[in-house]
Chains A and B, each alone.
Chain A
Amino acid sequence: MIKRIFNAVDERVKLLEIYREHLSQYFVPAGLNIWYSMGAVLIVLFSIEIITGIFLLIHYVPHTKEAFESVTHISNAVPAGWLIRRVHAIGANLFVLVLFLHMFSVLIMGSYKKPREIHWFVGCIILGVTLTTCLSGYLLPWSQLSYWATTVATSFPGSIPVIGDWLVWFMRGSNPVSQETLGRFFAMHVSLIPFTILILTSIHIFVMRRTGISVPPWTDGTKKIPFFPHFVIEDLKVIYFFLAMLFIFVFFYPQISFPPDALDPADPLSTPAHIKPEWYFLANYQMLKLVPNEFLGIILQGTVAFFIFFLPLLDRKEERRVWKRPIFGTIVFLGIIAFIILTVWGHYS
């Protein structure tokens, strides 16, 4: 019966053709390792964030007087609310981590080089939008941590000459952080940004399919395997592993996303001790603390971002094996060590 319906539909819109072209007869190089599955993990995590986010929207109230209570209500009174909320918060953290891993493997394997420069540009924009999502989402529970981390994070543009003050005022909608800020961050977080990420990711995957997946630099790319089911199963294996990691934190160590300051409602008149941003911003934060002039620090970080973004235009050599690119390899290695050191330093300072 189902087969009859299926055949009737297929006769009209030729679904089997699509299946063959994009799944079973679509071949990818053999030798793709787990790093190649990071993209699939990101798609799954993104979907989880969207779905949990929609469910949280049912109960969340984006007003300073009710935001914290509504989140407490979700975590205590709504059935499975605690689970949905923890998955959303911790999933966001895992998303950024996997994003970093994904960019790292692309960097090392030189997959940003011709013909895949567009993937890299779009990917960098996705990174920026993701960090903005995290920043805006952080404010929504309106806890002490939310309020003060946002205050610190949005105060940086203030050191830019001439337009600095206005930029801060524009970002926050007011000075200091208030309902205006909550309103615009909320609108951005639940509508503008998810759509933007969806569009950017679609473009990213589209160009990836058009150019084909990059061949691992240590193979010659002659041997191929069908994407479905062979590589899909590989993807699923890595996805399940990362889901296991996610749920280990969700069930056994949720405090990682909810330090004590996240458990108190925001008090604009009292800054708690030891306010620091979430781990993915710690390196930037610590670096700005070290550089004596804040504006200089921002310029330096902007320069680094500039070089990262335009990397495919700066590194045009065809060689993709990292052991044959010693200068590049050294720079990347030092950069990552610096990032880790600054992050750990920022955590303990």
Chain B
Amino acid sequence: MEENTSRRNFLQKLVGGVLGATAIVFAVPFVSYLIPKKSAGGANLLTDADNKPILDRDIKEDASLVGFSKDGPTIVIRLGGKLHALSAVCTHLGCLVKWVPAEGIFFCPCHAGKFDANGANISGPPPEPLTVYKIEVDKEGKIALEKA
């Protein structure tokens, strides 16, 4: 009788173990399926809404273009022939800034925040400057960004 009880307990634990192990093994692939893959390494390219790279020659003098990069919306301007890239996200509450060539500033339409051409916050509520990126243009004209 004693033996029977201990055998019963052992088998019960075994059955429980099998069911538990099955549940865990089943759960693993479903959980990993849900964890989004980080985009692989490689250059942080400036792209348009269709994921096509924006090219160097698309940006005319004194003009600006807003595109996407791994860090979010980015604005590129050409001043004096040189390309500048900065984060387009206003440091106040997150609206996207516009480049105003007449005044040479970035202007945020939400609360009239102003940044100069180097990203420094010069007027209005934004508490911090815009992040500036280093630009490298490859031989095809694609624009690779790197945090300065």
Contact = CB atoms under 8 A, between A and B. Distances in A.
B29 A83 contact: yes
B32 interface: yes
In which size bucket is the chain A interface?
A: 10 to 19
A240 to B, nearest CB: 8
Nearest to A51: B30
Interface in A219-274: 233, 236, 240
A80 B29 contact: yes
Contacts of B23: none
**Could you tell me the dominant secondary structure of chain A's interface residues?**
helix
**Could you tell me the dominant secondary structure of chain B's interface residues?**
helix
Contacts of B34: 55, 58
A111 to B, nearest CB: 29
A84 B15 contact: no
B37 A55 contact: no
B49 interface: no
B28 to A, nearest CB: 8
Contact of B30 (A80, A236, A240): A80
A138 B22 CA distance: 29
A84 B29 contact: yes
Interface residues of B, number: 11
B14 to A, nearest CB: 12
B102 interface: no
B148 interface: no
Contacts of B30: 51, 55, 80, 84
Contacts of A332: none
Interface in A37-68: 51, 55, 58
Interface in B6-53: 15, 19, 22, 28-30, 32-35, 37
A337 B80 CA distance: 85
A233 B33 contact: no
A55 B33 contact: yes
Contacts of A240: 22
A80 B15 contact: no
A79 interface: yes
A13 to B, nearest CB: 25
Contacts of B28: 80
Interface of B: 15, 19, 22, 28-30, 32-35, 37
- A-B pairs, 3 with minimum CB distance: A80-B29, A79-B32, A80-B33
14 contacts: A55-B34, A58-B34, A77-B37, A78-B33, A79-B29, A80-B28, A80-B32, A80-B33, A83-B29, A84-B29, A84-B30, A84-B33, A233-B15, A240-B22
Given A58-B34, A79-B37, 5 more contacts: A55-B30, A79-B35, A80-B30, A84-B30, A233-B15
